[in-house]
């Protein structure tokens, strides 16, 4: 083969590869942009099943003394890979109790709205943190509970703090019209997008909307749904690796 012909063929081959790269990069970029929008999954699924404070403690015993005594340890959060979660902890004024209606596998809690003035002084809370340098998106938070009568707060609600900011109402307040319907648990799901957070502190802070103040709520489930998002540089490496593999296959 003449040198000029070989050079022309080599030049054509290089031009072909360049064209493939130009066609491939937009597709990779689009897939990288789509990564954070992957379908949400369970980030946290608190396991109340082994909780039974009645054993050896007697009816009516207050269990948040000295405060704050964790309701559940962080290991019970069943956190998704790439996340760490703190204990599920009540505020100092919240009463975690045992009475005749308390069953195994539930937390029996009262005094969220101490005094019935409509102000949510007390709460139970935990914090989700993404492993550096990843971030997290939250899509929904849900809780399973039943009210132990008309004396229990009826406005189910969560407050959240993103990356150490001020706590604010998440989504809206949902009213539980059932009272004294236990043990028949109702699940309330709250939906509001939180994106690109390093950490999110979550407080269950029910309000006294229509009735009730200091009565008992029985909780047996608490979940957070969303995604863990890899840092952009990690996405870039995945995209470049895919591009190089494509070029090798087409040589």
- Whether 68 and 91 have beta carbons less than 8 Å apart is answered as yes
* Whether pLDDT at 177 is above 50: yes
* Whether pLDDT at 205 is above 60: yes
Interior angle at CA 160, CA 156 and CA 163, nearest 5: 170
Specify the pLDDT at position 249.
57
Query: Under DSSP, is residue 103 helix (H, G, I), strand (E, B) or coil?
Result: coil
Give Dmax over CA atoms of the chain in angstroms: 98
Give pLDDT tens digits for 49-95.
988 776 655 444 456 666 668 889 999 999 999 999 999 999 988 88
> 68: cis peptide before it, omega within 30°?
yes
Domain ranges of the chain: 3-35+233-250, 39-230
- Superfamily, domain 39-230: Galactose-binding domain-like (2.60.120.260)
Q: For residues 14-27, give the mean pLDDT.
A: 52
Higher pLDDT, 206 or 54: 206
Give pLDDT tens digits for 139-171.
999 999 999 888 888 999 999 999 999 999 999
The DSSP output letter for 124 is: E
Specify the pLDDT at position 64.
67
Q: For residues 103-128, give the mean pLDDT.
A: 86
Interior angle at CA 122, CA 162 and CA 198, nearest 5: 15
Specify the pLDDT at position 32.
44
């Amino acid at each position: 083969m003449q040198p000029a012909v070989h050079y022309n063929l080599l030049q054509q081959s290089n031009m072909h590869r360049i064209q493939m790269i130009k066609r491939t990069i937009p597709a990779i970029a689009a897939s990288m942009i789509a990564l954070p929008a992957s379908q949400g999954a369970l980030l946290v699924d608190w396991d109340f099943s082994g909780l039974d404070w009645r054993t050896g403690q007697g009816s009516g015993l207050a269990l948040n003394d000295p405060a704050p005594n964790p309701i559940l340890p962080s290991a019970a959060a069943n956190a998704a890979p790439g996340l760490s979660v703190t204990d599920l902890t009540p505020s100092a004024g919240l009463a975690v109790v045992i009475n005749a209606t308390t069953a195994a596998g539930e937390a029996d809690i009262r005094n969220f709205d101490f005094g019935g003035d409509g102000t949510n002084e007390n709460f139970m809370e935990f914090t989700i943190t993404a492993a550096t340098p990843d971030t997290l998106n939250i899509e929904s938070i849900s809780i399973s509970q039943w009210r132990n009568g008309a004396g229990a707060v009826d406005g189910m609600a969560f407050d959240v703090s993103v990356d150490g900011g001020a706590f604010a109402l998440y989504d809206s307040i949902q009213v539980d019209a059932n009272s004294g319907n236990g043990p028949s648990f109702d699940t309330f799901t709250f939906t509001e997008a939180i994106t690109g957070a390093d950490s999110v502190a979550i407080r269950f802070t029910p309000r006294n909307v229509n009735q009730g103040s200091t009565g008992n709520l029985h909780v047996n489930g608490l979940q957070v749904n969303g995604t863990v998002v890899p840092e952009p540089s990690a996405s870039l490496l995945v995209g470049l690796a895919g591009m190089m593999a494509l070029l090798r296959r087409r040589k």
